[in-house]
């Protein structure tokens, strides 16, 4: 029977399975940070754009306020440990890029790294942003799209 529950209970029931992504950003010292994201979407065909929603408390938020580029990475199944690492540790306390032993090549936009174990990488420049409660939605224009068609997409199924 349909009735009112609190939002966490209702949302927990409907949000999985979910696509998750990683966003690579540039730290003020020039190194790179990684964040695991569930809240992202395509927002324009021409020019191509993606939006990512980043909590104001995240180190990635400070990184994006400082340097206006991100790489949106669609992970392969073998990247599950990296998604856990990047979703449960802050770049303020840990260099996730080194700790995750991330395989990469140089990107073409602002030299952001391209994760070579991923299915796809989209190199974006932030063109606008919107406050959304305790998150900021950063809208990025895609300049380069990278794909490894042989890799299999990771889907977030449950907490295990």
Binding site for ligand FMN (CB under 6 A): 20, 33, 35-39, 53-55, 58-60, 87-92, 135, 156
* Residue 8 CA: distances (Å) to CA of 5, 11, 19, 54, 119: 8, 5, 19, 19, 31
- Which of residues 38 and 148 has its CB atom nearest to ligand FMN in the complex? 38
Report the residue number, 59 or 146, with the smaller CB distance to ligand FMN: 59
Q: How far is the CB of 73 from ligand FMN (least distance, A)?
A: 13
The nearest distance, CB 2 to ligand FMN, in angstroms, is: 28
Query: What 3 state SS string does 93-114 have?
Result: CCCHHHHCCCCEEECCCCCCEE
Nearest-approach distance from CB 19 to ligand FMN, in angstroms: 10
Which residue's CB comes closest to ligand FMN?
Answer: 87
Q: Using the minimum distance from each CB to ligand FMN, give the nearer residue, 55 or 108.
A: 55
* 65 three-class SS: helix
Integer Cα distance of 103 and 114 in angstroms: 8
Q: How far is the CB of 9 from ligand FMN (least distance, A)?
A: 18
| Residue with smaller CB distance to ligand FMN, 138 or 146 | 138
Q: How far is the CB of 8 from ligand FMN (least distance, A)?
A: 14
Strand pairing report for 120-132 and 113-115: unpaired
As to burial, measured by CB atoms within 10 angstroms (0-12 exposed, 13-18 middle, 19+ buried), residue 46 is exposed
């Amino acid at each position: 029977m349909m009735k009112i529950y609190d939002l966490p209970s209702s949302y927990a029931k409907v949000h999985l399975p979910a696509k998750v992504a990683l966003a690579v950003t540039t730290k003020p010292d020039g190194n790179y940070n990684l964040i695991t994201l569930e809240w992202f979407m395509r927002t324009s065909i021409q020019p191509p754009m993606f939006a990512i929603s980043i909590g104001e408390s995240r180190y990635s938020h400070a990184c994006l306020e400082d340097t206006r580029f991100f790489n949106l990475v669609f992970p392969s199944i073998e990247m599950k440990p990296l998604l856990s690492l990047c979703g449960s540790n802050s770049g303020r306390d840990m260099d996730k890029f080194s700790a995750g032993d991330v395989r990469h090549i140089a990107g073409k936009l602002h030299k952001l790294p391209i994760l070579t174990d991923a299915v796809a990488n989209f190199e974006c420049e932030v063109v606008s942003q919107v406050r959304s409660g305790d998150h900021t939605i950063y809208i990025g224009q895609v300049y380069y799209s990278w794909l490894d068609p042989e890799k299999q997409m990771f889907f977030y199924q449950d907490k295990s």
